[in-house]
Structure 1
Amino acid sequence: MKKKELILQAATYLFARKGYSDTAMHELSKMTGTAEGTIFYHFKNKQGIFLAILEDLKETILPEFEQYRKVESEKTGLDMVMETISFYLYMAKNREDLFAILHQRHPYELAVSNAECRDILEAIYNCFVDIFESAIVAGQADGSIHPAIVARKSALIVFGMVDSMVRFRMNNLYDVEALYSELTESCRRMLKSEHC
Protein backbone atom coordinates (compact mmCIF):
# COMPACT_ATOMS: atom_id res chain seq x y z
CA MET A 1 0.00 0.00 0.00
CA LYS A 2 1.31 3.43 -0.90
CA LYS A 3 2.09 5.89 1.89
CA LYS A 4 -0.66 8.26 0.78
CA GLU A 5 -3.26 5.47 0.84
CA LEU A 6 -2.06 4.35 4.26
CA ILE A 7 -2.43 7.90 5.59
CA LEU A 8 -5.97 8.16 4.19
CA GLN A 9 -6.95 4.80 5.61
CA ALA A 10 -5.65 5.66 9.08
CA ALA A 11 -7.16 9.16 8.97
CA THR A 12 -10.53 7.69 7.99
CA TYR A 13 -10.34 5.36 10.97
CA LEU A 14 -9.42 8.17 13.37
CA PHE A 15 -11.90 10.73 12.03
CA ALA A 16 -14.70 8.14 12.12
CA ARG A 17 -14.05 7.29 15.76
CA LYS A 18 -12.80 10.54 17.24
CA GLY A 19 -14.19 13.18 14.93
CA TYR A 20 -12.29 15.79 13.00
CA SER A 21 -11.58 18.18 15.88
CA ASP A 22 -10.37 15.51 18.30
CA THR A 23 -8.01 13.83 15.85
CA ALA A 24 -4.47 15.11 16.25
CA MET A 25 -1.88 14.87 13.51
CA HIS A 26 0.63 13.31 15.90
CA GLU A 27 -1.83 10.41 16.34
CA LEU A 28 -2.01 9.94 12.59
CA SER A 29 1.77 10.12 12.41
CA LYS A 30 2.17 7.51 15.13
CA MET A 31 -0.49 5.21 13.68
CA THR A 32 1.06 5.22 10.20
CA GLY A 33 4.70 5.38 11.26
CA THR A 34 4.97 8.46 9.05
CA ALA A 35 6.55 11.77 9.99
CA GLU A 36 4.14 14.69 10.16
CA GLY A 37 6.20 16.43 7.47
CA THR A 38 5.59 13.49 5.14
CA ILE A 39 1.85 13.63 5.87
CA PHE A 40 1.83 17.30 4.96
CA TYR A 41 3.90 16.56 1.86
CA HIS A 42 1.01 14.41 0.60
CA PHE A 43 -1.76 16.67 1.95
CA LYS A 44 -1.54 20.40 2.46
CA ASN A 45 -3.12 20.29 5.93
CA LYS A 46 -5.59 18.42 8.11
CA GLN A 47 -8.49 19.85 6.12
CA GLY A 48 -6.84 18.56 2.95
CA ILE A 49 -6.80 15.06 4.41
CA PHE A 50 -10.44 15.38 5.35
CA LEU A 51 -11.43 16.55 1.86
CA ALA A 52 -9.44 13.69 0.34
CA ILE A 53 -11.45 11.26 2.49
CA LEU A 54 -14.73 12.76 1.28
CA GLU A 55 -13.48 12.62 -2.30
CA ASP A 56 -12.52 8.98 -1.74
CA LEU A 57 -16.04 8.30 -0.46
CA LYS A 58 -17.45 9.84 -3.62
CA GLU A 59 -14.98 7.99 -5.85
CA THR A 60 -15.44 4.54 -4.27
CA ILE A 61 -19.04 4.35 -3.08
CA LEU A 62 -20.82 6.30 -5.79
CA PRO A 63 -19.58 4.04 -8.63
CA GLU A 64 -20.96 1.06 -6.72
CA PHE A 65 -24.35 2.76 -6.53
CA GLU A 66 -24.12 3.74 -10.19
CA GLN A 67 -23.26 0.16 -11.14
CA TYR A 68 -26.14 -1.08 -9.03
CA ARG A 69 -28.51 1.35 -10.75
CA LYS A 70 -27.43 0.18 -14.22
CA VAL A 71 -28.20 -3.48 -13.56
CA GLU A 72 -31.00 -4.43 -15.89
CA SER A 73 -33.91 -6.07 -14.21
CA GLU A 74 -37.45 -7.08 -14.94
CA LYS A 75 -38.51 -5.91 -11.51
CA THR A 76 -41.02 -3.17 -10.97
CA GLY A 77 -39.93 0.31 -9.96
CA LEU A 78 -41.41 -0.30 -6.51
CA ASP A 79 -39.26 -3.45 -6.17
CA MET A 80 -36.25 -1.38 -7.28
CA VAL A 81 -36.93 1.13 -4.48
CA MET A 82 -37.01 -1.71 -1.95
CA GLU A 83 -33.76 -3.14 -3.34
CA THR A 84 -32.15 0.31 -3.19
CA ILE A 85 -33.12 0.61 0.47
CA SER A 86 -31.43 -2.73 1.15
CA PHE A 87 -28.36 -1.79 -0.86
CA TYR A 88 -27.96 1.54 0.92
CA LEU A 89 -28.19 -0.13 4.34
CA TYR A 90 -25.69 -2.78 3.20
CA MET A 91 -23.23 -0.15 1.95
CA ALA A 92 -23.53 1.88 5.14
CA LYS A 93 -22.72 -1.20 7.21
CA ASN A 94 -19.96 -2.39 4.87
CA ARG A 95 -18.30 1.05 4.74
CA GLU A 96 -19.08 2.10 8.27
CA ASP A 97 -16.07 4.40 8.77
CA LEU A 98 -16.86 6.44 5.66
CA PHE A 99 -20.53 6.72 6.53
CA ALA A 100 -19.63 7.66 10.12
CA ILE A 101 -17.62 10.57 8.77
CA LEU A 102 -20.46 11.53 6.46
CA HIS A 103 -22.84 11.63 9.43
CA GLN A 104 -20.67 13.87 11.58
CA ARG A 105 -21.26 17.58 11.92
CA HIS A 106 -17.88 18.73 10.62
CA PRO A 107 -18.40 18.13 6.87
CA TYR A 108 -21.46 20.35 6.85
CA GLU A 109 -19.83 23.09 8.89
CA LEU A 110 -16.88 23.00 6.50
CA ALA A 111 -19.20 23.09 3.47
CA VAL A 112 -20.48 26.50 4.54
CA SER A 113 -17.10 28.09 3.82
CA ASN A 114 -15.47 25.55 1.50
CA ALA A 115 -16.94 25.19 -1.99
CA GLU A 116 -14.97 22.00 -2.71
CA CYS A 117 -16.43 20.30 0.34
CA ARG A 118 -19.93 21.47 -0.58
CA ASP A 119 -19.54 20.18 -4.15
CA ILE A 120 -18.38 16.76 -2.92
CA LEU A 121 -21.24 16.47 -0.42
CA GLU A 122 -23.78 17.54 -3.04
CA ALA A 123 -22.44 14.95 -5.48
CA ILE A 124 -22.65 12.21 -2.86
CA TYR A 125 -26.19 13.03 -1.76
CA ASN A 126 -27.46 13.73 -5.28
CA CYS A 127 -26.29 10.31 -6.37
CA PHE A 128 -28.08 8.62 -3.48
CA VAL A 129 -31.31 10.52 -4.07
CA ASP A 130 -31.05 10.11 -7.87
CA ILE A 131 -31.05 6.33 -7.49
CA PHE A 132 -34.24 6.43 -5.44
CA GLU A 133 -35.78 8.93 -7.85
CA SER A 134 -35.00 6.84 -10.94
CA ALA A 135 -36.62 3.80 -9.30
CA ILE A 136 -39.71 5.88 -8.47
CA VAL A 137 -39.92 7.21 -12.04
CA ALA A 138 -39.59 3.63 -13.34
CA GLY A 139 -42.37 2.59 -10.97
CA GLN A 140 -44.62 5.37 -12.20
CA ALA A 141 -43.97 4.21 -15.77
CA ASP A 142 -44.76 0.56 -14.98
CA GLY A 143 -47.74 1.37 -12.75
CA SER A 144 -46.28 0.05 -9.49
CA ILE A 145 -45.89 3.55 -8.00
CA HIS A 146 -48.66 6.11 -7.78
CA PRO A 147 -48.44 8.50 -10.75
CA ALA A 148 -49.47 11.59 -8.75
CA ILE A 149 -46.53 11.66 -6.35
CA VAL A 150 -43.62 13.99 -7.05
CA ALA A 151 -40.67 11.70 -7.75
CA ARG A 152 -37.85 13.93 -6.44
CA LYS A 153 -39.63 14.89 -3.24
CA SER A 154 -40.64 11.30 -2.58
CA ALA A 155 -37.07 10.17 -3.23
CA LEU A 156 -35.83 12.70 -0.68
CA ILE A 157 -38.36 11.46 1.89
CA VAL A 158 -37.47 7.79 1.34
CA PHE A 159 -33.75 8.57 1.45
CA GLY A 160 -34.25 10.58 4.65
CA MET A 161 -36.01 7.64 6.28
CA VAL A 162 -33.35 5.15 5.21
CA ASP A 163 -30.45 7.39 6.17
CA SER A 164 -32.03 7.93 9.59
CA MET A 165 -31.89 4.17 10.12
CA VAL A 166 -28.16 4.30 9.38
CA ARG A 167 -27.74 7.06 11.98
CA PHE A 168 -29.72 5.03 14.53
CA ARG A 169 -27.49 2.01 13.96
CA MET A 170 -24.26 4.03 14.13
CA ASN A 171 -25.34 5.66 17.37
CA ASN A 172 -26.56 2.35 18.82
CA LEU A 173 -30.01 3.84 19.45
CA TYR A 174 -32.17 1.12 17.95
CA ASP A 175 -31.87 -2.32 16.47
CA VAL A 176 -32.22 -1.28 12.84
CA GLU A 177 -32.51 -4.85 11.61
CA ALA A 178 -35.63 -5.20 13.77
CA LEU A 179 -37.09 -2.07 12.10
CA TYR A 180 -36.26 -3.08 8.53
CA SER A 181 -39.65 -4.63 7.73
CA GLU A 182 -41.51 -1.61 9.07
CA LEU A 183 -39.24 0.75 7.14
CA THR A 184 -39.77 -1.01 3.83
CA GLU A 185 -43.49 -1.44 4.43
CA SER A 186 -43.87 2.28 5.23
CA CYS A 187 -42.06 3.20 2.02
CA ARG A 188 -44.11 0.70 0.05
CA ARG A 189 -47.40 2.13 1.38
CA MET A 190 -46.28 5.69 0.71
CA LEU A 191 -45.35 4.97 -2.93
CA LYS A 192 -47.64 2.15 -4.02
CA SER A 193 -50.10 2.72 -6.81
CA GLU A 194 -53.76 2.14 -6.00
CA HIS A 195 -53.88 -0.36 -8.86
CA CYS A 196 -51.30 -2.74 -7.38
Structure 2
Amino acid sequence: MNKTKKIIFEAAIKAFSQKGYHKSTMDEIAETAGVAKGTLYYHFKSKEDIFRFIIDEGLKMVEDEIVDRTKHLDNPIEKLRMVCKVQLDLVIKYIEFFKTILSQMWGDEERQSQLREILNRYFRLIEGYLKEAADAGLIDGNDIKVKAFNFFGVMASTVVYSLIHKDMDTNDMIEETIEFMMRGIGKR
Protein backbone atom coordinates (compact mmCIF):
# COMPACT_ATOMS: atom_id res chain seq x y z
CA MET A 1 0.00 0.00 0.00
CA ASN A 2 1.51 3.32 -1.00
CA LYS A 3 1.87 6.18 1.50
CA THR A 4 -1.17 8.15 0.29
CA LYS A 5 -3.45 5.11 0.32
CA LYS A 6 -2.21 4.24 3.82
CA ILE A 7 -3.09 7.74 5.05
CA ILE A 8 -6.55 7.48 3.43
CA PHE A 9 -6.95 3.95 4.86
CA GLU A 10 -6.34 5.23 8.40
CA ALA A 11 -8.52 8.32 7.96
CA ALA A 12 -11.43 6.29 6.59
CA ILE A 13 -11.22 3.80 9.43
CA LYS A 14 -11.29 6.67 11.90
CA ALA A 15 -14.28 8.30 10.19
CA PHE A 16 -16.27 5.06 9.80
CA SER A 17 -15.61 3.90 13.36
CA GLN A 18 -16.51 7.26 14.92
CA LYS A 19 -19.46 8.39 12.79
CA GLY A 20 -20.55 5.23 11.02
CA TYR A 21 -20.46 4.58 7.31
CA HIS A 22 -23.53 6.59 6.33
CA LYS A 23 -22.65 9.74 8.27
CA SER A 24 -19.03 9.83 7.07
CA THR A 25 -18.36 11.93 4.00
CA MET A 26 -15.65 12.00 1.37
CA ASP A 27 -14.88 15.58 2.48
CA GLU A 28 -14.29 14.45 6.08
CA ILE A 29 -12.11 11.52 4.99
CA ALA A 30 -10.01 13.83 2.79
CA GLU A 31 -9.71 16.40 5.59
CA THR A 32 -8.75 13.77 8.20
CA ALA A 33 -6.21 12.29 5.78
CA GLY A 34 -4.81 15.73 5.05
CA VAL A 35 -5.21 15.28 1.30
CA ALA A 36 -7.09 17.25 -1.32
CA LYS A 37 -10.48 15.90 -2.28
CA GLY A 38 -9.14 15.44 -5.81
CA THR A 39 -6.38 13.20 -4.45
CA LEU A 40 -9.00 11.11 -2.68
CA TYR A 41 -10.98 10.73 -5.90
CA TYR A 42 -7.79 9.95 -7.83
CA HIS A 43 -7.36 6.83 -5.68
CA PHE A 44 -11.00 5.94 -5.02
CA LYS A 45 -14.19 6.43 -7.05
CA SER A 46 -16.52 6.53 -4.07
CA LYS A 47 -16.98 6.02 -0.35
CA GLU A 48 -18.02 2.43 -1.18
CA ASP A 49 -14.70 1.97 -2.97
CA ILE A 50 -12.82 3.23 0.11
CA PHE A 51 -14.82 0.94 2.39
CA ARG A 52 -14.09 -2.10 0.22
CA PHE A 53 -10.40 -1.17 0.20
CA ILE A 54 -10.08 -0.82 3.98
CA ILE A 55 -11.89 -4.08 4.66
CA ASP A 56 -9.92 -6.02 2.07
CA GLU A 57 -6.56 -4.54 3.09
CA GLY A 58 -7.30 -4.79 6.81
CA LEU A 59 -8.23 -8.46 6.64
CA LYS A 60 -5.22 -9.19 4.41
CA MET A 61 -3.10 -7.64 7.16
CA VAL A 62 -4.67 -10.02 9.71
CA GLU A 63 -4.25 -13.05 7.41
CA ASP A 64 -0.64 -12.17 6.57
CA GLU A 65 0.22 -11.73 10.23
CA ILE A 66 -1.36 -15.11 11.09
CA VAL A 67 0.51 -16.91 8.31
CA ASP A 68 3.78 -15.18 9.20
CA ARG A 69 3.53 -15.99 12.91
CA THR A 70 2.50 -19.64 12.39
CA LYS A 71 4.80 -20.68 9.53
CA HIS A 72 7.63 -21.70 11.86
CA LEU A 73 5.36 -23.77 14.15
CA ASP A 74 4.95 -27.51 13.64
CA ASN A 75 2.39 -28.35 16.32
CA PRO A 76 -1.19 -27.68 15.10
CA ILE A 77 -2.34 -26.73 18.61
CA GLU A 78 0.45 -24.19 18.92
CA LYS A 79 -0.61 -22.80 15.53
CA LEU A 80 -4.20 -22.42 16.78
CA ARG A 81 -2.99 -20.75 19.96
CA MET A 82 -0.95 -18.35 17.82
CA VAL A 83 -3.98 -17.65 15.59
CA CYS A 84 -5.90 -16.66 18.72
CA LYS A 85 -3.04 -14.51 19.99
CA VAL A 86 -2.53 -12.74 16.66
CA GLN A 87 -6.27 -12.07 16.29
CA LEU A 88 -6.54 -10.63 19.76
CA ASP A 89 -3.33 -8.61 19.55
CA LEU A 90 -4.54 -7.06 16.31
CA VAL A 91 -8.04 -6.41 17.66
CA ILE A 92 -6.53 -4.42 20.49
CA LYS A 93 -4.00 -2.65 18.28
CA TYR A 94 -6.51 -1.83 15.51
CA ILE A 95 -9.71 -1.48 17.51
CA GLU A 96 -11.08 1.20 15.17
CA PHE A 97 -10.77 -1.17 12.19
CA PHE A 98 -12.62 -3.95 13.99
CA LYS A 99 -15.33 -1.55 15.17
CA THR A 100 -15.81 -0.65 11.50
CA ILE A 101 -16.15 -4.31 10.50
CA LEU A 102 -18.62 -5.07 13.26
CA SER A 103 -20.73 -2.02 12.50
CA GLN A 104 -21.25 -3.13 8.90
CA MET A 105 -21.81 -6.89 9.27
CA TRP A 106 -25.59 -6.81 9.04
CA GLY A 107 -27.80 -5.66 6.24
CA ASP A 108 -28.54 -6.39 2.61
CA GLU A 109 -26.61 -3.62 0.91
CA GLU A 110 -23.83 -4.54 -1.47
CA ARG A 111 -21.26 -3.28 1.04
CA GLN A 112 -22.41 -5.75 3.68
CA SER A 113 -22.45 -8.62 1.17
CA GLN A 114 -18.92 -7.76 0.09
CA LEU A 115 -17.77 -7.61 3.70
CA ARG A 116 -19.20 -11.07 4.37
CA GLU A 117 -17.49 -12.41 1.23
CA ILE A 118 -14.14 -11.00 2.36
CA LEU A 119 -14.68 -12.49 5.83
CA ASN A 120 -15.32 -15.89 4.22
CA ARG A 121 -11.73 -15.81 2.95
CA TYR A 122 -10.59 -15.34 6.54
CA PHE A 123 -12.85 -18.15 7.76
CA ARG A 124 -11.35 -20.53 5.17
CA LEU A 125 -7.86 -19.72 6.48
CA ILE A 126 -8.95 -20.56 10.03
CA GLU A 127 -10.65 -23.75 8.81
CA GLY A 128 -7.29 -24.89 7.42
CA TYR A 129 -5.64 -24.57 10.82
CA LEU A 130 -8.54 -26.33 12.52
CA LYS A 131 -8.55 -29.15 9.95
CA GLU A 132 -4.82 -29.67 10.43
CA ALA A 133 -5.35 -30.07 14.19
CA ALA A 134 -8.35 -32.38 13.66
CA ASP A 135 -6.45 -34.54 11.15
CA ALA A 136 -3.67 -34.92 13.74
CA GLY A 137 -6.29 -36.07 16.29
CA LEU A 138 -5.61 -33.10 18.54
CA ILE A 139 -9.09 -31.55 18.45
CA ASP A 140 -12.60 -32.73 17.78
CA GLY A 141 -13.02 -32.72 13.99
CA ASN A 142 -16.77 -32.07 14.02
CA ASP A 143 -18.18 -28.80 12.73
CA ILE A 144 -14.88 -27.26 11.57
CA LYS A 145 -16.76 -24.53 9.67
CA VAL A 146 -18.72 -23.54 12.77
CA LYS A 147 -15.54 -23.49 14.84
CA ALA A 148 -13.90 -21.16 12.31
CA PHE A 149 -16.82 -18.74 12.62
CA ASN A 150 -16.59 -19.04 16.41
CA PHE A 151 -12.99 -17.82 16.24
CA PHE A 152 -14.32 -14.62 14.71
CA GLY A 153 -17.21 -14.50 17.18
CA VAL A 154 -14.87 -14.64 20.14
CA MET A 155 -12.79 -11.91 18.55
CA ALA A 156 -15.91 -9.78 18.03
CA SER A 157 -17.01 -10.19 21.62
CA THR A 158 -13.48 -9.30 22.73
CA VAL A 159 -13.85 -6.00 20.86
CA VAL A 160 -16.99 -5.27 22.85
CA TYR A 161 -15.31 -6.34 26.10
CA SER A 162 -12.27 -4.14 25.45
CA LEU A 163 -14.52 -1.14 24.73
CA ILE A 164 -16.30 -1.59 28.06
CA HIS A 165 -13.24 -2.53 30.15
CA LYS A 166 -10.58 -0.09 29.04
CA ASP A 167 -8.57 -0.67 32.22
CA MET A 168 -8.14 -4.40 31.62
CA ASP A 169 -4.80 -6.19 31.57
CA THR A 170 -4.65 -7.14 27.90
CA ASN A 171 -2.16 -9.99 28.37
CA ASP A 172 -4.40 -11.65 30.96
CA MET A 173 -7.44 -11.19 28.74
CA ILE A 174 -5.61 -12.66 25.74
CA GLU A 175 -4.42 -15.71 27.71
CA GLU A 176 -7.88 -16.33 29.18
CA THR A 177 -9.47 -16.01 25.73
CA ILE A 178 -6.95 -18.42 24.19
CA GLU A 179 -7.68 -21.00 26.90
CA PHE A 180 -11.41 -20.51 26.34
CA MET A 181 -10.97 -21.07 22.59
CA MET A 182 -8.87 -24.19 23.08
CA ARG A 183 -11.54 -25.72 25.33
CA GLY A 184 -14.25 -24.67 22.87
CA ILE A 185 -12.67 -26.40 19.88
CA GLY A 186 -12.39 -29.66 21.81
CA LYS A 187 -8.63 -29.73 22.43
CA ARG A 188 -7.62 -33.19 23.54
Q: TM-score, structure 1 length as denominator?
A: 0.73
Q: Distance in 2 between matches of 1:168 and 1:24?
A: 29
TM-aligned CA distance change 1:21 to 1:187, over 3 Å: same
TM-aligned CA distance change 1:32 to 1:133, over 3 Å: same
Report whether the alignment pairs 1:192 with 2:182: no
Q: Distance in 2 between matches of 1:71 and 1:163?
A: 27
Report whether the alignment pairs 1:102 with 2:101: yes
Deviations along 1:125-175, one digit per CA (max 9) or x if unpaired, are: 433x325524532xx51x44346x443333433442343223321354995
Which of 156-165 and 18-27 deviates more?
A: 156-165
SS at 2:107's partner residue? Answer: helix
Q: Distance in 2 between matches of 1:26 and 1:91?
A: 28
Match of 2:70 in 1: 69
Q: Distance in 1 between matches of 2:177 and 2:7?
A: 37
Q: Distance in 2 between matches of 1:174 and 1:58?
A: 27
List aligned pairs for 1:10-49, cutoff 5 A: 10-49=11-50
Q: Distance in 2 between matches of 1:82 and 1:40?
A: 42
Q: Give unmatched runs, 5+ long, in structure 2.
A: none
Q: How far did 1:187 drift?
A: 3.5
Deviations along 1:31-62, one digit per CA (max 9) or x if unpaired, are: 23333233222211111111111121133221
TM-aligned CA distance change 1:172 to 1:26, over 3 Å: farther
Q: TM-score, structure 2 length as denominator?
A: 0.76
Is contact 1:57-1:98 (8 Å) kept? yes
Which of 169-178 and 149-158 deviates more?
A: 169-178
Task: From the CA coordinates, give the structure whose radius of gyration is larger.
Answer: 1
TM-aligned CA distance change 1:14 to 1:119, over 3 Å: same
Q: Which residue, out of 94, 113, 119, partners 2:110?
A: 113
Q: Distance in 2 between matches of 1:153 and 1:120?
A: 17
Q: Distance in 2 between matches of 1:34 and 1:188?
A: 45
Q: Distance in 2 between matches of 1:182 and 1:33?
A: 40
Q: Distance in 2 between matches of 1:2 and 1:186?
A: 39
Q: Distance in 2 between matches of 1:14 and 1:113?
A: 20
Q: Distance in 1 between matches of 2:121 and 2:128?
A: 12
TM-aligned CA distance change 1:186 to 1:120, over 3 Å: closer
Match of 2:122 in 1: 124
Is contact 2:127-2:144 (8 Å) kept? no
- The residue identity in structure 2 corresponding to 1:133 is L
Q: Give unmatched runs, 5+ long, in structure 1.
A: none
The number of aligned residues is 184
